[in-house]
Amino acid sequence: MPELPEVETVARSIAGIVGRRIVSAEFTCLRILRGKPDRMSADLAGRRIRGIRRRGKFIVIDLDKGHCFVVHLGMTGKLLLGGTRSRHTHAIVNLDRGVLLFEDQRQFGRLEVSQGLPARVEKLGPEPLEVTIAEFAARLKRRSARIKAILLDQHFVRGMGNIYADEALFRAGIHPLAIGARLRPERVKRLHRAMVEVLTQAIEKGGSSISDYVDAEGRRGFFQFEHRVYQRTGDPCVTCGSPIRRILVAQRGTHFCPKCQRR
């Protein structure tokens, strides 16, 4: 499910747990854990929640003494405040008031307890909503891959995913197979602007609910109604009417208008 706008929406939806204390935590699926379940439970029990932040697609729950509870939602992960347990409920975090559940049908999500930020999470690229056009252009100049693959690389910018890469490229009029370093400065500028616009608008709409994405209160997003190319294969381009095409780039379904998006 979750790219930057969805993760941001989920992070905001659990902001209310800041200040609460973790009473206990139970983990029932080894695959999604970075660390041993009993050790993680012991590290979490009794800790006060000091803050919630998002770093790329990671949700960082800051605890006492620099400890972090780091959550990645993978493709189908959900953080939920209360609600009924299901066969995909893999973690139950009991708070002094309420409970935080982690569900994940496909088990691509990951949970981790660390002292400070894990190195893997620390060394990601800049936030796409903060990176300046100058830095964006400089970083792009060093990349020889296709622009779609570059946007998906979390070391280039952190938080873009398959939906918003396709949507940003469409809005910028750039073909997904264009080589990053070869983009003219004017097109780089358009891409930077399109990326910021599409992510900002998507956050305002609470993200995209493609199948079952919801925030921690169970609310769906509405940005799926604003998609112009993503999963619109064969449908007419909203600008020129040409059928939207789907190709594979970096093994990911990639949607674009062959007339509006040029290499």
- Catalytic positions are 2-3, 57, 252
Question: x/- contact string, 18-57, with DNA (CB under 7 A)?
Answer: -------------x------------------------xx
Q: Does position 13 bind DNA by CB under 7 A?
A: no
| # of chain residues touching DNA (CB under 7 A) | 47
Largest separation between any pair of C-alpha atoms in the chain: 58
For Cα atoms 185, 189, 192, give the angle at the middle one, nearest 5 degrees: 135
Q: Which of 44, 79, 111, 163 binds DNA (CB under 7 A)?
A: 163
Are 257 and 237 spatial neighbours (Cβ–Cβ below 8 Å)? yes
Are 59 and 121 spatial neighbours (Cβ–Cβ below 8 Å)? no
Angle separating helix axes 162-172 and 185-204, nearest 10 degrees: 130
Shortest distance in whole angstroms from residue 146 CB to DNA: 6
Shortest distance in whole angstroms from residue 158 CB to DNA: 7
Q: Does position 208 bind DNA by CB under 7 A?
A: yes
Q: Which of 53, 85, 97, 106 binds DNA (CB under 7 A)?
A: 106
Nearer to DNA among residue 42 and residue 75 (C-beta): 75
Q: Residue 82: what residue type?
A: G
Q: Does position 9 bind DNA by CB under 7 A?
A: no
Pairing of strands 89-95, 77-81: unpaired
Are 28 and 90 spatial neighbours (Cβ–Cβ below 8 Å)? yes
- CA–CA gap between residue 227 and residue 247 (Å, rounded): 17
From the list 41-49, 59-67, 155-163, 196-204, the region that binds DNA by CB under 7 A is 155-163
3-state DSSP assignment of residue 227: coil
Report residue 9 CA to chain centroid gap: 10
Residues engaged in binding DNA (CB under 7 A):
1-3, 6, 31, 56-57, 72, 74-76, 87-88, 105-108, 120, 142-146, 149-150, 152-155, 160-163, 180, 208-213, 224, 231, 246, 250-253
